[in-house]
Chains A and B, each alone.
Chain A
């Protein structure tokens, strides 16, 4: 018996039939997974948006308090009380202003801004993702 016969016998082994509906079940499972992932991502985006708003107001209060109790604010007040003195020693005044600027508390304001950017990125990335919430289109492409 030549090799061809032996191989053709191995090749001719019948394939099991694909159970009816298996393809549909796979599509349904993928749709379910797609919706689950999309909802999760949108939930993350919403949470980020919400947290950024809360944080913004909290930080605004903290930063506001920090400003009002800082030397920076006292120096700034000089602008209104004794402008001529400020103009005379303008360079020294600007240096002092820069030195006393409460940078740490001001940077706190960046956190909600960062969160807002993350949320916006999520939103924009999945802006067209509502198509995933629709059932997969079964029309073949051409």
Chain B
């Protein structure tokens, strides 16, 4: 579990205030987190209208269960887990995919553990002026499970442990998925760079 920080303490104070009958406290929680929740859901679904609906659903669920929420856990992690579940439910309904499609096919052990974390993206890509824009396009084309993890870790600054809690999956699975997502990103960026060079 993440160490309590000022963000965590502030959330706890707001939750306690809400539980004591201060309705404004929930509005403050909402204003504080809506941006990051929306960014995460949008990254996952790539559809603004649906993302808005999912964000709305997420906060309604959070409000509904706030009385039972355990303040020993970080609120942000809990909120993102609700958002992730709502987004995955929507994706499942939309595509009628079996749940296994959203679950990794490995238990997160070998062989990805051995991929070094250094230099996760190609050097030639990082040198390019339009690297950031290109990266956004490539990330958008990644599978949902990779996109979700990249959004959580790099966009929202969650640790891999917190990401594992949000995704409700074992830490090792998330760790290896993180490495695979970087590998996938690297391959796709390399492919994109090769195409640019070849043109």
Please list the residues of chain A having a beta carbon within 8 angstroms of any beta carbon in chain B: 1, 3, 5-7, 9-16, 18-19, 22-23, 25-27, 29-30, 33-34, 128, 131, 136-141
Query: Please, how many residues of chain B have a CB less than 8 angstroms from a CB on the other chain?
Result: 44
User: Which residues of the partner chain A approach B35 to less than 8 Å between Cβ atoms?
Assistant: 15, 18
B7 to chain A, nearest CB (A): 17
- Given A13-B155, A141-B22, check contact A25 B56 (CB 8 Å): yes
Whether the pair A22, B119 counts as a contact (CB closer than 8 A) is no
Interface of B is mostly: helix
B105 to chain A, nearest CB (A): 25
Interface residues as binary, B133-159 with A (CB distance below 8 Å gives 1, 0 otherwise): 001100100000000001000110100
- Ranked nearest first, the 9 interchain pairs of A and B with the lowest CB-CB distance are A10-B154, A15-B39, A6-B121, A1-B126, A136-B23, A1-B123, A137-B24, A26-B59, A16-B42
Whether the pair A33, B39 counts as a contact (CB closer than 8 A) is no
B80 located at the interface, meaning its Cβ lies under 8 Å from any Cβ of chain A in the complex? no
Whether the pair A131, B21 counts as a contact (CB closer than 8 A) is yes
Whether the pair B135, A140 counts as a contact (CB closer than 8 A) is no
Whether the pair A3, B136 counts as a contact (CB closer than 8 A) is no
Whether the pair A25, B52 counts as a contact (CB closer than 8 A) is yes
Whether the pair A140, B150 counts as a contact (CB closer than 8 A) is no
Whether the pair A13, B154 counts as a contact (CB closer than 8 A) is yes
Whether the pair A22, B38 counts as a contact (CB closer than 8 A) is yes
Distance, CA A9 to CA B185, complexed state (A): 13
Distance, CA A5 to CA B161, complexed state (A): 23
> Which residue of B25, B30, B127 contacts A1 across the interface (Cβ within 8 Å)?
B127
Please list the residues of chain B having a beta carbon within 8 angstroms of any beta carbon in chain A: 14, 17, 21-28, 30-31, 34-36, 38-39, 42-43, 48, 52, 55-56, 59-60, 63-64, 117-121, 123, 126-127, 131-132, 135-136, 139, 150, 154-155, 157
Q: Looking across the interface, which residue of chain A has its beta carbon closest to that of B28? A: A140
Distance, CA A139 to CA B25, complexed state (A): 9
Distance, CA A19 to CA B22, complexed state (A): 26
Distance, CA A5 to CA B121, complexed state (A): 9
Distance, CA A128 to CA B22, complexed state (A): 13
Whether the pair B59, A30 counts as a contact (CB closer than 8 A) is yes
Distance, CA A38 to CA B85, complexed state (A): 27
User: Which residues of the partner chain B approach A14 to less than 8 Å between Cβ atoms?
Assistant: 132, 136
